[in-house]
A = this chain, B = another copy of it.
Amino acid sequence: MSGWLAVAGLGPGSDALVTPEVCTALGDATDVIGYAPYVARAGEMTRAVLHPSDNRVEFDRATAALRLAAEGRRVAVVSGGDPGVFAMAAAVFEALEAGPEAWRALDIRVLPGITAMLAAAAALGAPLGHDFCAINLSDNLKPWERIETRLRLAAQAGFAMAFYNPRSASRPYQFARALEILRGELPGTVPVCFARNVSRPDQTLTTVPLAEATGEMADMRTLVIVGTAETRAVGRFLYTPRRAT
C-alpha cells in the first residue's frame, strides 16, 4: 500500500465530537504526528507509531510528516479542533511548497473537525448566528498593528467575533488592548463570552458585558466569543438573531 498524509481534526475534546472519517484515518495510519497532547488523545484511537512533538514546531513537524508519507507510510497529522482553522493544515502546505517537487504528487487530504469556536457557540446558544469572523490574536506570526486594524474594521462591520489564542504568558497584554479597541467601537453592553475546555467534563462558560471584560479573564486555552449589538439573552442562552437592521 502506498503512503498518504491525512491532516485530521480531533475536535474540541469530547470523543463524541470526533468524526467517523477521522476515526477511520487514525485506524488505518501507521504513524501519528502532532503536538503531544493531541497525539496522546489520538493514541487511544490507533495502533500507529506515535510521534509527539512540542508546541511551536509546526513547520518541522509538517516536514517530517511529508517525508514519512513519501517513504510509503500512512501518516495522520493531528490537530485539535479543525486542522484548517489556526492549526496544522496551513503548516503542511507551507512545508509541501518548501519541499521536493515530488512531494506534490503525494496523496494528501485534510479531514475537517469541529473547531473550538463552533463548539463554544453551541454550548452558549447561537452567538455566531449571524455574520461572524475568526481572528487569531497571537502576534507570533503577524504584526500586532495589523491585528488592531482588523479588530476595528471587524467591529465596524458588525461581525460577531471569535478569538483564538487570546493571551499567553509571553503575550500578557494584547488581549486587554483588544478589549480596549472593541470598547472604542461597540456598546459596552455587547456580551463577551469566555469558554474553556469546551465539550469536556471541566467545561466553563463565563459571559460579561464588554464594559466589564478584563484581560485576565482569558488565557491561552480560552476561546473568546464577542457578540454584536444585536445579540440577545434568553434564559441561559445567548443568540444573535438572523434578522438584522
**Distance to closest chain B CB from A218 (angstroms):** 17
**Residues in B whose Cβ lies below 8 Å from that of A17:** 19-21, 112
The contact size tier of chain A is 35 or more
**Residues in B whose Cβ lies below 8 Å from that of A94:** 239, 241-242
Tell which of B114, B134, B141 touches A114, judged by Cβ atoms closer than 8 Å. B114
**Residues in B whose Cβ lies below 8 Å from that of A118:** 82, 84-85, 112, 115
**Residues in B whose Cβ lies below 8 Å from that of A89:** 122, 125-126, 129, 239
Which residue from chain B places its CB closest to the CB of A113 in the assembled complex? B114
Q: What is the bound-complex CA distance between A134 and B154, given in angstroms?
A: 12
Tell which of B20, B115, B125, B149 touches A16, judged by Cβ atoms closer than 8 Å. B20
User: A19, A83, A126 — which one has the most chain B CB atoms within 10 A of its CB?
Assistant: A126
Q: What is the bound-complex CA distance between A139 and B18, given in angstroms?
A: 34
Is A112 a contact of B108 with CB atoms below 8 Å?
no
**Residues in B whose Cβ lies below 8 Å from that of A135:** 131
Tell which of B111, B125, B156 touches A153, judged by Cβ atoms closer than 8 Å. B156
Is A150 a contact of B159 with CB atoms below 8 Å?
yes
Is A24 a contact of B16 with CB atoms below 8 Å?
yes
**Distance to closest chain B CB from A165 (angstroms):** 11
**Distance to closest chain B CB from A60 (angstroms):** 14
Which residue from chain B places its CB closest to the CB of A146 in the assembled complex? B244
On A, residues with C-beta under 8 Å from B are 11, 14-21, 24, 58, 82-86, 89-94, 96-97, 104-105, 108-115, 118-119, 121-123, 125-136, 141-143, 146, 149-150, 153-154, 156-159, 232, 234-235, 237, 239-245
**Distance to closest chain B CB from A198 (angstroms):** 9
Which residue from chain B places its CB closest to the CB of A96 in the assembled complex? B234
User: A17, A112, A114, A121 — which one has the most chain B CB atoms within 10 A of its CB?
Assistant: A112
**Residues in B whose Cβ lies below 8 Å from that of A243:** 141-142
Is B141 a contact of A240 with CB atoms below 8 Å?
no
Which residue from chain B places its CB closest to the CB of A198 in the assembled complex? B112
Q: What is the bound-complex CA distance between A159 and B171, given in angstroms?
A: 23
**Residues in B whose Cβ lies below 8 Å from that of A149:** 157
Which residue from chain B places its CB closest to the CB of A93 in the assembled complex? B239
Q: What is the bound-complex CA distance between A86 and B112, given in angstroms?
A: 19
**Residues in B whose Cβ lies below 8 Å from that of A97:** 232, 234
Q: What is the bound-complex CA distance between A115 and B83, given in angstroms?
A: 14
